[in-house]
Amino acid sequence: MNVAIVKYNAGNTHSVYLALQRLGIEATITDEAELLKSADKVIFPGVGEASTAMNYLKERNLDSVIKELKQPVLGICLGMQLLCKHSEEGDTETFGIFNNAVKLFKSDSDKIPHMGWNNISLNPSPLFNGVSNAEYFYFVHSYYTEASMETKAVCQYAGIEFSAALQKDNFYGVQFHPEKSSDQGAKLLKNFIEL
C-alpha cells in the first residue's frame, strides 16, 4: 500500500504519519506531484492558515494536481477546508471540490477556537464503518464548513451545526483530527486505507 501525505508546511503532517505508522503503514510525506499521482491513497492534512497554505500549493502547482487525483483523498481539518470552494480566512479561493463555504465561528458565549472532544452525528459513509453514531472526536478549529448535501457527519458548536465530514466521489474530508482521536480515529484512518 503506497500512501502519500501532502507536504505543504501544515502543522499536523508528522502526527498523521505517526498515526499511520501505529497502524503498520509506512507513508511518504511529499510535495512531489508524481509521488502524489502514483500513490494508492493520498492524505491532505493541515493545521495552519488558508491563504498561506494555498499560496504554497499554487507555487508548486499542487492545487491542480490534487484536484485531478482519481484515488481516494482524505482532507483533515485545514486540508478538508481547502477542498471547499472559499474560506473567509484571508478571503481565500480554495479548491472547489466540495461546494461548501468555510466561515469563521462567531460567539459571545463559546470559546473560539472550538477545541476539544465533541460527538458527531453520522450519515452513511465507508469512512465510518464500525464507528458508533454520537462517537467523540477531537477538534481544533476557528473556521467551520457549512453543512450540505455532501455532509457525512455533523457536529454542533457555538449554536451552529457544521460539517464534521464530507464526501464527494473519491474525495473525503474530516474537520476533526483522527490522528488525535484515540481508537475511533485510528478506525477511521484504517477505513480510509482499506477503501
Per-residue pLDDT of the chain (195 residues; tens, 9 = 90+): 999 999 997 778 999 999 999 999 999 999 999 999 999 999 999 888 999 999 999 999 999 999 999 999 999 999 999 999 999 999 999 999 999 999 999 998 899 999 999 999 999 999 999 999 999 999 999 999 999 999 999 999 999 999 999 999 999 999 999 999 999 999 999 999 999
| Residue-range domain boundaries for the chain | 3-193
pLDDT at 183: 96
pLDDT at 55: 94
pLDDT at 132: 93
Phi, psi of 184 (to 5 degrees): -70, -30
pLDDT at 181: 97
For 147, the grid coordinates are 453543512
Sign of the alpha-carbon torsion through 132, 22, 2, 5: positive
pLDDT at 9: 79
> Closest Cα to residue 141, out of 44, 57, 76?
76
pLDDT at 84: 97
Instruction: Say if pTM beats, i.e. exceeds, 0.85.
Output: yes
Note if 59 is an active site residue. no
Taking the C-alpha atoms of residue 7 and residue 75, their distance in angstroms, rounded to an integer, is 12
CA dihedral 48, 50, 55, 60 (to 10 degrees): 70
Note if 141 is an active site residue. no
Taking the C-alpha atoms of residue 72 and residue 173, their distance in angstroms, rounded to an integer, is 11
Question: How would you classify residue 30: left for phi > 0, otherwise alpha for psi between -120 and 50, otherwise beta?
Answer: beta
> Would you call 151 helix, strand, or coil by DSSP?
strand
Note if 177 is an active site residue. yes
Q: Which of 77, 84, 150, 155 is catalytic?
A: 77
79, 44 contact by CB (below 8 A): yes
- 3-193 classified as CATH 3.40.50.800: no
Q: Residue 90 half-sphere exposure, CB side, CA atoms within 13 Å?
A: 13
pLDDT at 12: 87
pLDDT at 11: 77
Taking the C-alpha atoms of residue 50 and residue 25, their distance in angstroms, rounded to an integer, is 28
Q: Over the range 2-41, which residues count as b (16 or more CB within 10 Å of their CB) and which as e?
A: ebbbbbbebebbeebbebbeeeebebeebbeeebbeebeb
Taking the C-alpha atoms of residue 125 and residue 9, their distance in angstroms, rounded to an integer, is 29
Q: Name the pairing type of β-strands 41-44 and 3-6.
A: parallel
